[in-house]
Amino acid sequence: MDWVNAIAQGILLGGLYALFAAGLSLIFGVMRLVNIAHGDLIVAAAYLALTIVQITGLHPFAAAIIVVPLMALFGYILQRLLLNPTLGKDFLSPLLVTFGLSVILQNGLLAGFTADSRRLSAGAIETASFDIMPGLTLGALPLLMFVVAVAVIAGLEVIFSRTSLGRAFRATSDDAEIAQLMALDHHHVYGLAMALSAGIVAIAGIFLAIRTNFDPASGPARLIFGFEAVIIGGLGNLWGTLAGGVVLGVSQTLGAQISPGWQLLAGHLVFFLVLGLRPRGLFPRMD
Amino acid sequence: MSQQSIAAGLSRRRLIKAGAAAAVLPAVFRIGPSHAADVIRIGHVAPLTGPLAAFGEPVPYVLQQMANRFKNGLNVGGKTYAIEILNRDTESNANRASEVTADLILRDEVRLLLAASTFETVNPVADQAELNGVPGVTADCPWQSYIFGRHGDPKKGFTWTYHFFWGLEDATATYVGLWKSVDTNKIVGGLFPNDADGNAWGDPDHPGALKQSCARNGFKLIDGGRFTPGIEDYSAQISAFQKAGVDIVSGVLAPPDFGVFWQQAAQQKFRPKIVTVAKALLFPSVITAIGDRADGLSTEVWWSPNHPFKSGLTGESAHDMNAAYEKATSRPWTQPMGFKHALFEVAADVLGRTANVDDPASILDALKTTNYASVVGLIRWNNPELKNICKTPVVAGQWVKGPKGFELVICDNSSAPQIPVAGKLRLLS
């Protein structure tokens, strides 16, 4: 029964990782940008949600209606003003810019919100759970996070495959210069991709804030599992990111069943194994 | 001439850096009459940014207090010296702490080094002080992490560096004392991450650590294993605790890790009667953030408004000091403040008794013979079994939700009977 429970908890944990990773995966897929500040953006979104909840008194989930568009707008401006000028020349300069952004975000949040540990309260759903069978109890919040992660990724897939925006993303991703010849302004397309990513970041930020205490320095720890999920799943594949998150989550909880010290190690080992055997991930979609 | 060359050599980057630092806190506090020809420089190192920033929160307030206190300088052997406090941020990073301390010693030539807040701050500062022969006083880190973290031996001690705080044996004794005060099945679940704190608290071979302390008092410890800090899932620990019928949860966790554990415990319907956790539950902001489910959690208390101590420097009691802090900053009192304040008290006491402040050995002589009543208790280094260590009291308290928010009520004083107990431990529902 322990093993069944471990696998179930691991799958739900995978939803969390996929939610943290979806925005990262999207950005990498469209513009090959590794966003080091992704974790700090999630924390910044959490603070934004906190501020809005404090001002309006809305439930954290309802606050998403305001937080998501605000973050998307911020993402668009960030891309147009800061990241676009660094793209294209080489791989390193955008990486360094996002690294700098990460430092600025952490210290800006510290100056604005102090080092206090904060949290958002979502009420009874935080501790609610469903008894599936004896020895297997699933938390309502992890379950909701998993469902939202699946919905976000399904939504992204629809945008990518069915809409003209998705066509623009794919075209720019394949060859930005040719896409430009077809009258696609790749600066604008990149801006929209970052806006979409920042919107997902906002959702991840709200869940982070409900899940546990956060402070301005909580960001970087969120990044590593996101990266691993993206790489295990395969670069450029959004469903792959979800699969990668689940593989990572399940290997961690199974590792913990063997010995608590193995929890993260097992995840890292699986990541390492995937890198060694299939360097492009389990379900790669791009060259 | 030198003035000019400094101005010319000031690069844009340094100017920006200096400007950014000044916006937060001045790097140098020069205090005292401007005509005083001689200056005593004191280096103070603390985490002001990064994950440990909550520990550094009282620093600006304490520095301001010191600026008021020393506005007429410090009298040493009939001569008045101006005091210059050089305050440095570790950015919560041990390497950075080491670097800024080396700069304070070699470039700024400080006479005395002060540092507090966790082994990540204290150990690198003390190591640099020891290496360069500068007297150093540190606080706020269990002595085991301080001595063993620096590869020291409590019987041999160190030459230049002195420390005051409690030890694990005191903390675990008061934890067990707290648990004994109520009726449970005496089965304890331990959460010890694989870091310096978790390994020290969870060490089965250390007589002061939790396992042996439990065993001596008829409690049984179920060890949750050395998991990596920052894990997002505690289902393995929770199901192990449930299977063993754990009534009491203890350990040493960072606040976000405790938050994840405590929420998942509720989801998995694991409802212990007592939760006494070190580190995570120190700060009122953490407790307020957890909300209603923080009511009844318990932790160790190293300093509180109810500690019966007075500052020998300002005459202020712990109670008045906390009240003044809350009034000045509109923020709740926190435990690290007393120790930050006490560091400067000890510094003033030591320098005041020094024969020749230009001679580090003379300052060290005064430091060795310290016998000073500070706001965190009596400071003197006279225990031959624990050289260079002065133990200050630690008790256990419970967070209780009242009309004015959460309050930390002291419920056990088995390792420090001089601290008054204010209430009885209440079981979590």
Q: Does A228 touch chain B (CB under 8 A)?
A: no
pLDDT at B7 over 70: no
| Chain A interface mutation, best of B235, B268, B292, highest count of A Cβ atoms under 10 Å | B235
CATH at B271? 3.40.50.2300
Tokens of B429: 């529902």
- Where does the pLDDT of residue A1 fall: very low under 50, low under 70, confident under 90, or very high at 90 and above? confident
- Where does the pLDDT of residue A120 fall: very low under 50, low under 70, confident under 90, or very high at 90 and above? very high
- Which residue in chain B has the smallest CA separation from A128? B267
| Shared-domain flag, residues B50 and B137 | yes
Residue A51, exposed/middle/buried by CB under 10 A (0-12, 13-18, 19+)? Answer: middle
Q: Is residue B7 part of a domain?
A: no
| Chain B interface mutation, best of A47, A132, A215, A222, highest count of B Cβ atoms under 10 Å | A215
pLDDT at B194 over 60: yes
Q: Is residue B225 part of a domain?
A: yes
Its ipTM equals 0.90
| Shared-domain flag, residues B222 and B277 | yes
- Per residue in B327-351, pLDDT tens? 999 999 999 999 999 999 999 999 9
Closest CB to A115 among B57, B224, B230: B57
Q: Is residue B114 part of a domain?
A: yes
> Which residue in this structure is represented by tokens 């001690």?
B157
| Chain A residues within an 8 Å CB radius of B277 | none
- Per residue in A42-92, pLDDT tens? 999 999 999 999 999 999 999 999 999 999 999 999 999 999 998 877 888
- The total of structural domains in chain B comes to 2
What does the pLDDT average to over B10-22? 44
Instruction: Write down the pLDDT at residue B33.
Output: 65
What does the pLDDT average to over B100-104? 97
pLDDT at A183 over 90: no
| Chain A interface mutation, best of B61, B194, B232, highest count of A Cβ atoms under 10 Å | B232
> What's the mean pLDDT when you consider all of chain A?
92
Spatial distance between the Cα atoms of B405 and B407, rounded to a whole number of angstroms: 7
More reliable by pLDDT, B25 or B133: B133
Spatial distance between the Cα atoms of B36 and B300, rounded to a whole number of angstroms: 44
Closest CB to A260 among B227, B268, B290: B227
- Which residue in chain A has the smallest CA separation from B265? A127
Q: Do A256 and B232 touch (CB under 8 A)?
A: no
Radius of gyration over every alpha carbon of chain B, rounded to an integer in angstroms? 22
| Chain A residues within an 8 Å CB radius of B257 | 212
Q: Is residue B245 part of a domain?
A: yes
Residues 6+ apart with CB under 8 A from B330: none
- Per residue in B39-90, pLDDT tens? 999 999 999 988 888 899 999 999 999 999 988 899 998 889 999 999 999 9
| Shared-domain flag, residues B179 and B137 | no
Tokens of B185: 């099945």
Longest pairwise C-alpha distance within chain A: 62
> What's the mean pLDDT when you consider all of chain B?
90
Closest CB to A117 among B231, B239, B283: B283
- Where does the pLDDT of residue A285 fall: very low under 50, low under 70, confident under 90, or very high at 90 and above? confident
Distances (CA, A) of A29 to A91, A94, A100, A156: 14, 15, 22, 12
Q: Does A116 touch chain B (CB under 8 A)?
A: yes
Q: Is residue B10 part of a domain?
A: no
- Where does the pLDDT of residue A184 fall: very low under 50, low under 70, confident under 90, or very high at 90 and above? confident
Q: Does B236 touch chain A (CB under 8 A)?
A: yes
Is residue A102 within a helix (H) or strand (E), and if so which, with residue range? helix A92-113
Spatial distance between the Cα atoms of A151 and A238, rounded to a whole number of angstroms: 12
Least confident of A172-181, A251-260, B147-156, B394-403: A172-181
Q: Is residue B417 part of a domain?
A: no
- What does DSSP say about strands B220-223 and B187-191: parallel, antiparallel, or unpaired? parallel
pTM for this entry: 0.88
What are phi and psi for residue B49, nearest 5 degrees?
-130, 170
Q: Does A214 touch chain B (CB under 8 A)?
A: yes
Range of the domain at B39: 19-168+306-390
Q: Do A114 and B49 touch (CB under 8 A)?
A: no
| Shared-domain flag, residues B275 and B403 | yes
